[in-house]
Structure 1
């Protein structure tokens, strides 16, 4: 691990990662509604079901080897080359298996018409896994700026191809084109910026040396994947492809704020916490600060989307999706409840608590799948989303208890400190929702309702944060001043 991991380097790399995610998901903010207006819910649902299988197999194929390379003490090239060939071999076998059993698997998932898509999308598995080792080298070097540039480029070009193909009437093929174009460009970019060149070197013993860590991470990732993707499968099987498409479109849009911040923060904090694993005081301070900051940023976005879901659905997706606005609101609410948990997974990974992470991930996966299935089988898509909100509320308490216990922090003090911004966001969202219900009819269209609600909500939340988060704001101010003073000293010395 690099020896210069500190608040400055973490902040810089988080900044690059957030910039990358802001660019790519900001693009999705535009392209998802455009595609939703051109394509049907059934087309969205079919691709979403097929992509769930591909992502699951790609994750298993990696077996956590990339994560193990990130926490390794040295860049052992024999180990790195061995991990690359192991990844590639497994990915090719999985792609072949998916191609051969695509039709029965699609039927099992309740989408028999997706069989041919599974066969085509099986090629995405080696495309994704072939870049894992190159990415792990960038991550362990805390060099996220280069990855950020290529990520933005791949997503921009993929989205442009998708919109262009959809406008030309290619239907579901436009979504496939987006996936493949983005995968090819990102793969090429990872090798270009990491400088990694695979060589024909393979040591089974070196690969096995990573197994203890990698298989634990693989188990946790599988459980997390089930948590995030099982609702799609359950909804597709029990409620049909139209509801699956509505869920997919709403989920993709409501995930944009989370993925901009969370994927950026988690990718950087994992190697950073690994470097701090033997310094409890330092990592505890980093845990609380990163948790508070991400919650302050994310909570108002998610609860604000819940408050403004109805006009947002009309403005962004069009009249054909209008009935799905409660789904968008409830998904935003369910994700908003988990915002304080954003740093917990990289923290547990970084300090070597793989066993705890695995078992709590399994518990969450079982609870999420069961709750959504109960809501979908006995009711509607809205009932399933309400069940998801209840599970995520329990997950917030459970994950907080596990992490603060692992860090030997008092649970109640840590819990209430971390959820304080969440409470401010909830108050803001309720006020905005009530104002919209009472006075929304005075505004002539959904766009004005959305803009007015966003402005009012931002002002309310800013006031609440200034009143309730003075210790956090003071800490951030001190950090900014110390960085400024350090920069001035460096300039003077030069």
Structure 2
């Protein structure tokens, strides 16, 4: 793939991945807002208790083999079929494990309803296992346009079904209905767009090679999911269900921006980085560009959410969710380095060094354990502040090996981000001064957002940030499609 072709594929991939992730996240966000206004915090808290069990099971099913297919240069049809058969078999196994362990889960949280919720929601594992290889094939082809269509279909179908169920008094079951029907419709769409029909064939050699790469990612993924959801277990066990509901909503707001950008960069850059893994100059060029672009977007976005947390929460969710405000103001800063950290780790996978990926991830375990021991007795807000500290330290850890291999470590990355921090600081001062003198929550949100957008772009223009021109070109390119 020559330089022009690579750049074209990368740009189109990022654009359509952005359309996909933002459309899906905004769609899910709108649905969650409607559901939050109908349901109560306890409903979201109940589903939050199951998040870690579903996430860990899903990680086992994937086992990093999808990324193994993307990273592999000479993949064959038998490779895809082997992964498909593996996904189906493991999904069935883990559904049975969830089914029979449901009473134990319900007993741990002292919530009998979790027995039926676990057994029904667990069906989502089996549904998703049919979609993994199809999604991987489209990712390899950098066909994020097709992926975007399937995901949007899933959001629309699941969202409509969930809202109708909530309006008819289904309570927490409306969230389950939303999840299952959304996954099913998305899976059916993927089969239509991928144009690939698997054979029920399994190759031991193919499995051995793919799992050799994926096994390290499996362990790392389990570790990541455990850390990402362990707070749900602690809050659900030691605090009222409503506290977990508030935490889940705050996390949802923060992940709408940080999580979306992280997923865009992961999906769009991994196949590109893997394709140029043997060309150091191209690899570093793409890698550094993504670090700068992600900071350009995420730092001002998360800061603005913190500044406008109160009007956002009260206007969208109503006064019954006001306890989310202080949690949201802190949790957004625990996500501010997330996209950049993800790119640093993604580079190791693109190099085929999933072993280093695992080692780096595991090296952060003591830090997280210490933070949890200190902050769990301090309440939910204290736990989130602990996440802010650990995420900052984790960024330096994640950037160490890229700095060692390519000379672009944490200090170099922070130097590139410095103009963005300056522009964001200027934006923050102006927004704070404006909304301080406005009583209306609606006007705070509207005027504050307008001032933020204009002032941030102005400061970026003054600082002559190249990313401003990059965004302009991307937008113009998208409008021409």
Whether the TM-score (by the shorter chain) exceeds 0.5 is yes
Conserved? CA contact 1:306–1:429, under 8 Å = no
Matched pairs, number: 479
Q: Indicate the residue corresponding to 1:182 in structure 2.
A: 182
Q: CA deviation at 1:218?
A: 1.0
Q: Indicate the residue corresponding to 1:490 in structure 2.
A: none
Q: Indicate the residue corresponding to 1:48 in structure 2.
A: 48
Q: CA deviation at 1:326?
A: 0.5
Evaluate the alpha carbon distance shift between residue 268 and residue 463 of structure 1 in structure 2; reply closer, same or farther with a 3 A threshold: same
Q: CA deviation at 1:275?
A: 0.5
Paired residues for 1:10-409 under 5 Å = 10-108=10-108, 111=111, 113-368=113-368, 370-377=370-377, 379-409=378-408
Conserved? CA contact 1:405–1:411, under 8 Å = no
Name the TM-score, length of structure 1 as normaliser: 0.90
Name the TM-score, length of structure 2 as normaliser: 0.93
C-alpha separation in 2, matches of 1:185 and 1:89: 21
Paired residues for 1:426-441 under 5 Å = 426-429=425-428, 431-433=430-432, 435-436=434-435, 438-440=436-438
C-alpha separation in 1, matches of 2:470 and 2:316: 38
Q: CA deviation at 1:2?
A: 11
Q: Indicate the residue corresponding to 2:463 in structure 1.
A: 468
Deviations 1:302-341 (A, max 9, x none): 1100111111111111100112200111111211243433
Q: CA deviation at 1:9?
A: 0.8
Q: CA deviation at 1:475?
A: 6.8
Conserved? CA contact 1:235–1:243, under 8 Å = yes
Q: Indicate the residue corresponding to 1:492 in structure 2.
A: none
Deviations 1:137-173 (A, max 9, x none): 1111111111111111111111111111111111111
Query: Does the residue aligned with 2:196 lie in a helix, a strand or coil?
Result: coil
C-alpha separation in 2, matches of 1:446 and 1:478: 35
**Comparing 419-428 and 211-220, the one that deviates more:** 419-428
Evaluate the alpha carbon distance shift between residue 480 and residue 104 of structure 1 in structure 2; reply closer, same or farther with a 3 A threshold: closer
Deviations 1:162-214 (A, max 9, x none): 11111111111110011001111111111111112121211222211212201
C-alpha separation in 1, matches of 2:320 and 2:110: 24
Evaluate the alpha carbon distance shift between residue 112 and residue 368 of structure 1 in structure 2; reply closer, same or farther with a 3 A threshold: farther
C-alpha separation in 2, matches of 1:40 and 1:47: 12
Q: CA deviation at 1:470?
A: 3.1
Query: Does the residue aligned with 1:242 lie in a helix, a strand or coil?
Result: helix
Q: CA deviation at 1:42?
A: 1.0
Query: Does the residue aligned with 1:169 lie in a helix, a strand or coil?
Result: coil
Query: Does the residue aligned with 1:449 lie in a helix, a strand or coil?
Result: helix
How large is the RMSD of aligned CA atoms in angstroms?
2.5
Evaluate the alpha carbon distance shift between residue 388 and residue 480 of structure 1 in structure 2; reply closer, same or farther with a 3 A threshold: closer
Q: Indicate the residue corresponding to 2:453 in structure 1.
A: 458
Conserved? CA contact 2:102–2:119, under 8 Å = yes
Q: CA deviation at 1:389?
A: 0.9
Q: CA deviation at 1:277?
A: 0.5
Evaluate the alpha carbon distance shift between residue 410 and residue 78 of structure 1 in structure 2; reply closer, same or farther with a 3 A threshold: closer
Conserved? CA contact 2:246–2:321, under 8 Å = yes
C-alpha separation in 2, matches of 1:478 and 1:118: 47
Evaluate the alpha carbon distance shift between residue 159 and residue 183 of structure 1 in structure 2; reply closer, same or farther with a 3 A threshold: same
Q: CA deviation at 1:120?
A: 1.1
Evaluate the alpha carbon distance shift between residue 392 and residue 110 of structure 1 in structure 2; reply closer, same or farther with a 3 A threshold: farther
Evaluate the alpha carbon distance shift between residue 112 and residue 467 of structure 1 in structure 2; reply closer, same or farther with a 3 A threshold: farther
Conserved? CA contact 1:138–1:144, under 8 Å = yes
C-alpha separation in 2, matches of 1:98 and 1:244: 21
Evaluate the alpha carbon distance shift between residue 10 and residue 408 of structure 1 in structure 2; reply closer, same or farther with a 3 A threshold: same
C-alpha separation in 1, matches of 2:79 and 2:449: 51
**Comparing 406-415 and 24-33, the one that deviates more:** 406-415
Conserved? CA contact 1:37–1:318, under 8 Å = yes
Q: CA deviation at 1:111?
A: 4.8
Evaluate the alpha carbon distance shift between residue 36 and residue 66 of structure 1 in structure 2; reply closer, same or farther with a 3 A threshold: same
**Comparing 360-369 and 192-201, the one that deviates more:** 360-369
Q: CA deviation at 1:101?
A: 0.9
Listed as ranges, the gaps of 5+ residues in structure 1 are 488-494
Deviations 1:103-124 (A, max 9, x none): 1134335655422211111211
Evaluate the alpha carbon distance shift between residue 309 and residue 473 of structure 1 in structure 2; reply closer, same or farther with a 3 A threshold: closer
Listed as ranges, the gaps of 5+ residues in structure 2 are none
Conserved? CA contact 1:224–1:362, under 8 Å = no
C-alpha separation in 2, matches of 1:426 and 1:238: 38
Evaluate the alpha carbon distance shift between residue 450 and residue 137 of structure 1 in structure 2; reply closer, same or farther with a 3 A threshold: same
